Chain A
């Protein structure tokens, strides 16, 4: 018999109502998933897709409308299970008047840790997040990144079995970012269960064992990174160096079978590509979402009476001209399709040029969704280079 999952969700639904008890938004819509012991589980989705709502239901901060949700086999409202959970919210919600040490001491006391354990853990955690030297400064004087580090430390104070990280790398510098990934990796090796929700696809791709992708409160994809990212349309054949004759023979064989590629393996696509593909599919299926939609036309008052679009386009063009590679025509940078807005094209143009997706579908990517997903990974942030290195554990 398999071990009971740490989190079990069956038909989980959350309906927000307004003051008059009318349905306002269906944030989560009958989702099924389970988080197994010792795995790093990713929750992905664009803004308003229901990931945070799901996490808050797991934590008991929100109540489910229907369905079943069990954490450690109990209701999320059960106080006893919270001893085993560590939580890092998407922003650092800390008491501004406490200093770092007092903050950790406060949370440690909520777990009823005795004095010696408390002191040792606080020292170690402060050291780990690099705040030992500023531990007596009030949190309100901290930078966002420093507050984030305290947030991470408090989430670990009880050495939790289940760690829930909501956008853990937001606001962290590249080193902090790396440390968090290493931490997740290390905790994963120690057999901790981690639920990771992130907009930074590279974070998720690097860390998670299994993931679900949500859109409009529904699960659009679920599985391991490998199974989801494996491209079934291509085969890559890798051998030692071949002489031209052998290559010619292989090509001949491939031509006879109407194939023209020369790598024989199952290459992985990038998570970003998979994600965008799923979101586009959901949009083309007209799946309702209570979250952000892709951008529409620019508000007419912004465009001016006439020629506004042309004006903005010229400005964009002028701005981008020097950075544009000479061998890439401008048209290639612009998303095709009649409904793509001018601002979307602006957003696409300002992003570093990404390699063209290998599984180009009929539908062009929704650039506003990409924009929202790439928000945290600006030019100064480490960005996935699209490598499909499998993180063996």
Chain B
């Protein structure tokens, strides 16, 4: 038995677990005792940072020496900061109990790790990982690499503990669980899957280093969310696809399946077991990567924004934190005003809290405010009301058009579908026209249903998002536009086909909950400008990004479930490369269904001008139309984009997605089960 195997056996043993637990609890008790003594030392009353003085780094104006720099670069900083915080907390009433409870939480985590049989693995990774990363991080030329490794260590530890917990959870003697657990072990021990896992963990640790500090904080956070979530999804989608296909196809190719399927394993349990295995792995990896993304987003959002000297401290020295005395002072004044105006108004701590956040937001620098309102938030978008149509005029116009078509095509008869096509074309033209403005012209847009936003106390601000198209969207063209919002004009310039945003005060919403926007196109603009269907929108905040983040990640997991099901189903009767190809095709079709739909609108099989039918186009449309229709909802669901744009991905949307994609997943698995059941396993098509 090699050394690793011996150590593994050792850490799984009961004796080791007891000894390690005893050591951990003893260390905790000693640390608590030391913290208590430190906090209660007579000189502690002076409030000096007792622990920090050891490294000598926080005396103002003192340049840290090489040793101090070394200590600061590594995980010892965490210990130092933790100890400082603990000592400070212990000096407050009930602080000792709080510190004891919190630190016991860490101890409980440690005990969990030990009893999951990972005590030595953790110790080894911590010592080796941080042992290597620490010196690298302390030496300026390799500092970035060191930071990457420092970040990779906790992600690896989280991965290990979750995997072990999952293995235990799947330990029941049921074929489905046994098959699922085997997939987990396979994923870790077979090198291809391991490459993906390591890649994901390293990328997560690497991306933060790629964010340049010279751009506004809001862009950095947005970029990070975009990279982090996009990367997680891409890597996991590929891993899911290959692992799912490989675990089923290779078992058949290598005939390992003979020994499994000659045991009492129902076919459905085998297929479902494979899926559960892949999805459990995905859940762990997604949990690790999203924890990484979330924690780093939090870290990043607590950095200095443009116009700040420190987190929430403006260059003019004002703090935009709800707990700041200046903010509280303003809250007091405003509360008194409200109470004078409305005698029945109740001054509750909750209301004060909401108002304090609102005032703090007013004090924020622009960068910070946009970050909080447009990025780290969950917003809902409202598009302008459709133009009110004159039914009579529309009908008349439609009749004329139909008559014209019949006149142009002798022998053609009026059919329902032909009339419907004409109607669709006409309405599209009408709506397009309603969003178009000629140079020097103007157009009015009304956004309804914003009454609740106006009433809400913690409404934040509104955002107007707009995108201008004109002609063939000359990239060098700049258009001048004036937006008049409830009488307040604002002139802007914009490049074509670029999404812009503008903050609006909620006061502009009228009592009926409507926002009226008048758009003037400057006479110098060369062509008629228009807003595309998704190019004009008012967004308002309905919540923070935390819950949204959770829903986004869950939706990504649901999408991965479908990919896994398709790849598994394909691999039940196809060999590995063909199964991958099928799964990639389905994934590609699903992801690009929106684009496909747009393309199909211009890809017609009948050419009006030459009166000829393109039969290739007929075939392509016959395949592409149902595909785009089937996957339209899937493609519309862009969880990553929602997060980056700070848009709400609500529970109803998520549940709807779960229902729809879940049904497809079930369908794919059923198909796989049916194919697998009929299959003669002793004949392999791949041979």
Contact = CB atoms under 8 A, between A and B. Distances in A.
Interface in B641-687: 680-683
Contacts of A97: 185-186, 189-190
B336 interface: no
Contact of B680 (A62, A98, A158): A62
B8 A154 contact: no
Nearest to B170: A109
Contact of B255 (A79, A93, A136): A93
Contacts of A109: 173-175, 177-178
A95 B182 contact: yes
Interface string A319-343: 0000000000000000000000000
Interface in A88-119: 89, 91, 93-95, 97-99, 102, 106-115, 118
Contacts of A253: none
B680 A106 contact: no
A57 to B, nearest CB: 9
B259 A93 contact: yes
B266 interface: yes
B258 interface: yes
Contacts of A151: 259
Nearest to B2: A137
Nearest to B255: A93
Interface in A106-161: 106-115, 118, 133-134, 136-138, 151, 154, 158
A83 B262 CA distance: 9
B259 A61 contact: no
Given A62-B683, A95-B256, A112 B261 contact: no
A220 interface: no
B368 to A, nearest CB: 50
A60 B266 CA distance: 12
Given A62-B680, A112-B173, A134 B262 contact: no
B259 A112 contact: no
A136 B680 contact: no
A134 B265 contact: no
A87 B266 contact: no
A136 B5 contact: yes
A56 B186 CA distance: 27
Nearest to A53: B682
B193 to A, nearest CB: 10
Nearest to B265: A110
A91 B256 CA distance: 10
B659 to A, nearest CB: 31
A61 B186 contact: no
B266 A79 contact: yes
Nearest to A89: B258
A212 interface: no
Contact of B263 (A94, A102, A110, A137): A110
A94 B173 contact: no
B681 A110 contact: no
A59 interface: yes
Given A62-B683, A109-B174, A137-B1, A83 B264 contact: yes
B63 interface: no
Interface in B229-264: 254-264
B178 A95 contact: no
Interface string B34-69: 000000000000000000000000000000000000
Nearest to A16: B683
B682 to A, nearest CB: 4
B9 interface: yes
Nearest to B270: A110
B13 to A, nearest CB: 13
Most chain B Cβ neighbours within 10 Å, of A97, A102, A133, A134: A97
Given A80-B264, A137-B1, A154 B259 contact: yes
Contacts of A134: 1
Contacts of A158: 263
A91 B178 CA distance: 23
B173 A118 contact: yes
A340 B1 CA distance: 53
Contacts of A115: 173
A115 B173 CA distance: 8
B580 to A, nearest CB: 20
A112 B269 CA distance: 13
A78 B260 CA distance: 14
A60 B264 CA distance: 11
Contacts of A36: none
Contacts of B177: 109
Contacts of A82: 262-265
Contacts of A99: 5
A178 B260 CA distance: 28
Contacts of A68: none
A181 interface: no
Interface string B174-215: 110110011001100110000000000000000000000000
A114 B2 CA distance: 30
A28 interface: no
Nearest to A85: B262
A269 to B, nearest CB: 35
A62 B680 CA distance: 5
B628 to A, nearest CB: 33
Given A79-B266, A118-B173, A110 B258 contact: no
A137 B259 contact: no
A106 B256 CA distance: 13
A294 interface: no
Given A59-B258, A82-B263, A97-B189, 14 more contacts: A61-B262, A61-B681, A62-B683, A87-B258, A87-B259, A98-B182, A106-B181, A109-B174, A110-B260, A113-B173, A114-B173, A137-B2, A137-B5, A154-B259
Q: Which 5 pairs of residues, A with B, have the shortest CB-CB distance?
A: A109-B178, A97-B189, A110-B263, A61-B682, A136-B5
27 contacts: A16-B683, A56-B682, A60-B262, A61-B262, A62-B682, A82-B264, A82-B265, A83-B264, A87-B258, A89-B259, A93-B256, A97-B190, A102-B185, A106-B181, A106-B182, A107-B263, A109-B175, A110-B263, A110-B264, A110-B265, A112-B175, A118-B173, A136-B5, A137-B1, A137-B2, A137-B5, A138-B189
Interface of B: 1-2, 5, 8-9, 173-175, 177-178, 181-182, 185-186, 189-190, 254-266, 680-683
